[in-house]
Copies of this chain bind each other. A is one copy, B any other.
């Protein structure tokens, strides 16, 4: 769980000086891959570099740069990039500490944005949260991801597609587009969570059992995990909308406001799911109580059906010298009939009072 990751990560570094670069997390990709995209209204160049090649890389003048890094376990790479772009030691530390909450921090020359990539792990059916760091400079954008997730692929496509607005606009618009893409991927996660929730509700309403409670517990945990990711996201986006440091052009703020709207949507959908889960717990609890009730009733019915008959057999089993009907050749059968009559009339009574129905 993300919270566990949080707690554990600081342990590795307790007492270390700030800016000490230690990668927190598993190594998720073989070798860090650096992807460079130089673009302007007219031109677009893409390059794949290794860490060694990066040292010799010369940035062409007067074009906008998007540098993306997959894989963060080579701390030397981050240090090199940091020196190159003048990043604060704490920013480099936070890029590697992949358990940050979504946040926005201004460092004068550039804006540091932390986002999450949240997805269901296809194997374990657990939520997996990875960190995406975006650094928005005046004419460059740096992005850092733990492994290739493809969540920025649509933006890359739009850049490649000839003369569109995103090519002409500044790097702030590119940062917006990346932000938008990162926010959009929550919807599919929420969609899956919501579907599981509704499926579970369907089952709970018809045949609740103990497994459903565990499932409910799991979904609740996941919804809380998402909550811990989405609420600070909203806060961060809101901060961008306020645009105190003027990193975004005035005409682009309206787009940020649109992203903000999406985060509000996310929160509302999530809270709706949480309401539903809470309501389902109530239903589960009362259905268990209901079942106890039915079990006791079943016991009562059994007892009531057999007890009179047993009493009758006891009566005719007594050893009195003079007892009626004992000499009667059909007495035995008559007695059985009486037992059957008593039992069936009681059964009829219960049926009428709807005691034998399921609720």
Contacts and interface: CB of A to CB of B under 8 A. Distances in A.
B319 A314 contact: no
Given A18-B255, A18-B258, A290 B288 contact: yes
A284 interface: yes
Q: Top 8 nearest A-B pairs by Cβ distance?
A: A15-B154, A313-B314, A3-B272, A316-B318, A210-B359, A10-B187, A14-B184, A306-B307
Contacts of A302: 300, 303-304, 307
Stoichiometry (number of copies): 5
What bracket does the count of chain A residues touching chain B fall in? Answer: 35 or more
A349 interface: no
Interface string A4-35: 10111011011111100000000000000000
Contacts of A326: 319-321
A288 B293 CA distance: 8
Nearest to A220: B279
Interface stretch (A74-82, A131-139, A140-148, A327-335): A327-335
Contact of A4 (B164, B194, B310): B194
A242 interface: no
B187 A14 contact: yes
Nearest to A17: B158
A320 B331 contact: yes
B310 A7 contact: no
Interface in A87-104: 88, 90, 99-101, 103
Nearest to A313: B314
A121 interface: no
A244 B295 CA distance: 65
A293 to B, nearest CB: 5
B292 A289 contact: yes
A246 interface: no
Interface string A254-268: 110110011011001
A41 interface: no
A188 interface: yes
